[in-house]
Structure 1
């Protein structure tokens, strides 16, 4: 569907709902398309996606560093 900028100002909430439902909404300046309203993709990130797929144990961030490692980290050594 294509609407003018003026119509989009008036009916923005309705246009957003239509886009969320999967309809492509084009906003035009006169007859020239200038913008498109599309739904945002949902975030599919999940923790542990590589669990069991990486070899070895990772670092234990709750254990204190060795003195020489801490000195390198702080730029002393």
Structure 2
């Protein structure tokens, strides 16, 4: 299953493989660069995908959208759907 979000005025797809989040419309390098920049300037990323990436990186599950949290929880248990 996928989670869809608006990111920079486009619909982007996010999934979870049981171990890590997959940002289908961004490279790992882009996500990591945005994360480091947000830490350097002490601000939240502007793009929704990168906000989710940052929340996961910092293990701040309250900032993860509920549907994506459920998807992650179920995927870790080995279930295919919510």
By the TM > 0.5 criterion, same fold?
no
Greater per-residue helix proportion = 2
Structure with bigger RCO (C-alpha 8 Å, 6+ apart): 2
Q: Report the TM-score when normalising by structure 1.
A: 0.26
Bigger Rg over Cα = 1
